Chain A
Amino acid sequence: MLGKAFTRVVVLATTAALVVTTAACSDNPAPSASGDGGGGLPATVKILSIRQLTGPSSFAGTNGKKGMDLALDEIAAQKFLGDTTLEVDVKDSANSVQEAASFANQGVTDRSYSAIIGPEASAQATAVSAITQPAKMPTLYIQAGSDGVVTGDYTFRVTAPAASYFDIAGEYVKSKGITEAAVLYATDNPTLNQLGTKKIPELAAANGFTVTSSDSVASNAQDFTSFASKVTSSQAKAVFVMLIGPQTPVVITQLRRAGYQGEIIGMSAMGSGNLKPAGELAKGAVWPTDFTADQPAPSSQKFVEAYKAKYNGEVPNNYAAEGYDTMWFLARAIKEANSADRTAIQQGLAKVAAEGFDGAMGRLTFEGNDLRVEGVLAQWTGSGETVVQVNG
């Protein structure tokens, strides 16, 4: 009896070891020593980029990467870091928090990496910060809007929280003379939840309108017909829809089909072409965003032109802009630090953040380690985006 169990354990352990060794062999070989300590940039500075290139957030991930790649091209072409090249290793964490955490851990233990550009998804980013902040590894995020992402001086977020530039929506409502508005928000998304439950009521108080109803749904909800009927028969002349990208064309279609004729106000998730399936029906919907291709700032226009040139006339969206600015932020910090050492880079990041700089999103400033931008109000024309000026 003992022999049988023993043999079984041996077989199991061998199999496990085989599987694990196979996986280990597909990893990168042992890292070479990097230029540690201050005093001059080495020939290569290595960065780890954890992106969602497949899975449900792949749209954000692939566009963010395109922006980053453009920035890398420019940095190399301008010899911004002298003769030093910025080498970026891209890993796809898909939908998996575990994969993201694992990559982060590998990045931290491999001393040849000087910084990490972390994942867009909040849950993944939270797990990554839990590893990189205590390990004192500079980490920059795009998107990733929940708490638990920027947890210390080594974590930075280069996407301004929607609430920080959302005031323009309140001014828009006021400028239209509207006094009653309804709110619908996705309860299980931190950013949307916070906008729906806290920010919009604040705007209401400041801009002279009242929130007549506040409803929540899950972020995988698709049926808004009841809500649409409810709002149409109410007094609300403006509807705030704080939902994720895929839900936005659906809710607008259902609102219009229910006969609602008032204003529709969203947030940045309405951009980047998400309203295309709703087409003309969604014409006139507005949303505050951190970037839209028509925005007037000179640095933004320069970015748009460069992007179109590189990507065959394709117009950049906000994910691309955020990726672009993140890479440039990092490059500036590395130049400031004049070193590939992690602590020096963190200090460089802090210094550049304190000074601010101009990028694709316009004038970028930081509050602590969190980005702030002017923000702009975008509008759907029926087939594309444009900018809306708000009076007052």
Chain B
Amino acid sequence: MTSWYYANLVLIQATFVSLLTALSIQVPIRVGVFSFAGIGSYAVGAYFTAIALIRYQLPTVVAILGGMAVAVVVSYLLSLVLARLRGLYLGMATIAYVLIIAVVIVNGGEFTGGPNGLYGVVSGFQTWMLIVLAAVALALIAYSERGTLGRRIDAVREDPELAVSMGIPVVRIRRLAFVASAVLGSLAGSCAVLLRRTVTPEDVSFHLVVLMLTIIIVGGSRSWAGVALGAVIFTWLPTVLHVIEEWKTIAYGVLVTLAAVWVPDGVWGLITKGYRAVRRRGRPGPSGVDSTADAGPAEPGPLAGIAARGGEAR
């Protein structure tokens, strides 16, 4: 078992880094904020940490927290500037923001290492530290999916106007989503750099945005569990596909397309539905309304009764 662990260490690390990165996008999506700014925070965290360690020999903790601070400030400002946008438009604005950062990095000359990137990051950071940090993040996020907080967040996502009228601080929650995204994204970037010891401009690209979106949608966008599943699947899928050799890139595309069509709630949604179906089989129960309502983690919240109007009944 330990030899398997060491042989696949890179993939294990990648799984947790991808998990944190994907969460940095899924958390805002769950609040109804379609923002990819988490990837920009990944870049900020990664490059800040690399520069801090290579050039200024700062302690690792300072490097991580410093990157996080910069990312949080930038993301908060972004949230103010983009406050009026919604949906796909907001998504595009944040993608544009990420791509601008990517161009700035490549043209950053000596400071960012330009097209070469930075290498030679030496630190005492270990894989188990990444796992612990990821676990803590997951625990906090899982907590936010339950109870009152979970229902409030769902309300902000489903119908912001109604939520405001119920006294939920919608604007504050949306801004907090940006901040949470910045924390998660920069943490992912910092850990990635500390473990891989290098960072190149290719790490931050449109491709990463696409990959994260795929992870979230195929894994399941409603819950951290879906994101975790997605991260595991897409980190290990290339390894599994190796047996097909030259056809693996085509197979990858086919799998993603099939998943998008056949698994609308993500793999996690499939599992929870199957699980509920199994549990329901013994029970007589009334009409299907209660057991089929809300496949997500939060129980039917304050808007459940009105949920049917927008075709939300599942």
Contacts and interface: CB of A to CB of B under 8 A. Distances in A.
A16 B228 contact: yes
B238 A97 contact: no
A26 B8 contact: no
Contacts of A96: 238
Q: Could you say which interface size class chain B belongs to?
A: 35 or more
A66 B312 CA distance: 57
Interface stretch (A163-171, A185-193, A341-349): A185-193
A324 to B, nearest CB: 23
A106 B8 contact: yes
A179 interface: no
A97 B203 contact: yes
B4 A24 contact: yes
Interface stretch (A32-40, A145-153, A266-274, A302-310): A145-153
Contacts of B249: 54-55, 94
Interface string A17-37: 001101110110010000000
Given A19-B236, A97-B203, A146 B271 contact: no
A74 interface: no
A130 B54 CA distance: 14
Contacts of B242: 26, 91-92
Contact of B271 (A11, A26, A94): A11
Contacts of B9: 105, 109
B216 to A, nearest CB: 15
Interface in B7-41: 7-11, 14
Interface string B199-226: 0111100000000000000000000010
Interface in B157-201: 196-198, 200-201
A188 B115 contact: yes
Contacts of B248: 54, 92, 94
B4 A126 contact: no
A198 interface: no
A146 B198 CA distance: 13
A151 B146 contact: no
Contacts of A12: 225, 228-229, 268
B85 interface: no
A366 to B, nearest CB: 21
Interface of A is mostly: helix
B229 A187 contact: no
B117 interface: yes
B235 interface: yes
Given A96-B238, A98-B10, A109-B3, A11 B275 contact: yes
Nearest to A9: B225
Interface in B214-259: 225, 228-229, 232-233, 235-236, 238-240, 242-243, 245-246, 248-249
B307 interface: no
A190 B116 contact: yes
A318 B275 CA distance: 57
A101 to B, nearest CB: 5
Interface string B133-163: 0000000001000110000000000000000
Given A130-B119, A151-B120, A102 B232 contact: no
Contacts of B114: 190, 193
Contacts of B103: 218
Interface in A172-226: 187-190, 193, 218
B275 A105 contact: no
B67 to A, nearest CB: 19
A53 interface: yes
Interface string A103-119: 01110011000000000
A127 B238 contact: no
B107 interface: yes
B6 interface: yes
A22 B240 contact: yes
A147 B116 contact: yes
A105 B8 contact: yes
Contacts of B232: 16, 19-20
A86 interface: no
Contacts of B271: 11, 15
Contacts of B238: 94, 96, 98-99
Interface-centre pick from B147, B225, B229 (highest chain A CB count, 10 A): B225
B188 to A, nearest CB: 14
A77 interface: no
B106 interface: yes
B115 A187 contact: yes
Interface string B94-108: 000000000100110
Contact of B198 (A7, A127, A218): A127
Contacts of B236: 19-20, 23
A9 B135 CA distance: 12
Nearest to A189: B115
B229 A97 contact: no
B10 A102 contact: yes
B225 A98 contact: no
B205 to A, nearest CB: 10
Contacts of B233: 19
A131 interface: yes
A147 B198 CA distance: 11
A23 B234 CA distance: 11
A123 interface: yes
Contact of B116 (A94, A146, A151): A146
Interface of B: 3-4, 6-11, 14, 103, 106-107, 113-120, 142, 146-147, 196-198, 200-203, 225, 228-229, 232-233, 235-236, 238-240, 242-243, 245-246, 248-249, 268, 271-272, 275, 297
Interface of A: 1, 5, 7-9, 11-12, 15-16, 19-20, 22-24, 26-27, 30, 53-55, 91-92, 94, 96-99, 101-102, 104-106, 109-110, 122-123, 126-127, 129-131, 146-148, 151, 187-190, 193, 218
17 contacts: A12-B228, A23-B240, A26-B240, A54-B249, A92-B242, A92-B248, A97-B200, A98-B10, A98-B14, A102-B14, A105-B7, A105-B8, A110-B7, A123-B202, A126-B117, A146-B117, A148-B117
Please give me the 9 A-B residue pairs with the lowest Cβ-Cβ distance, nearest first: A148-B119, A102-B10, A130-B197, A23-B236, A105-B10, A123-B200, A146-B116, A123-B202, A188-B106
Given A16-B232, A97-B200, 5 more contacts: A8-B272, A26-B239, A27-B4, A109-B3, A148-B116
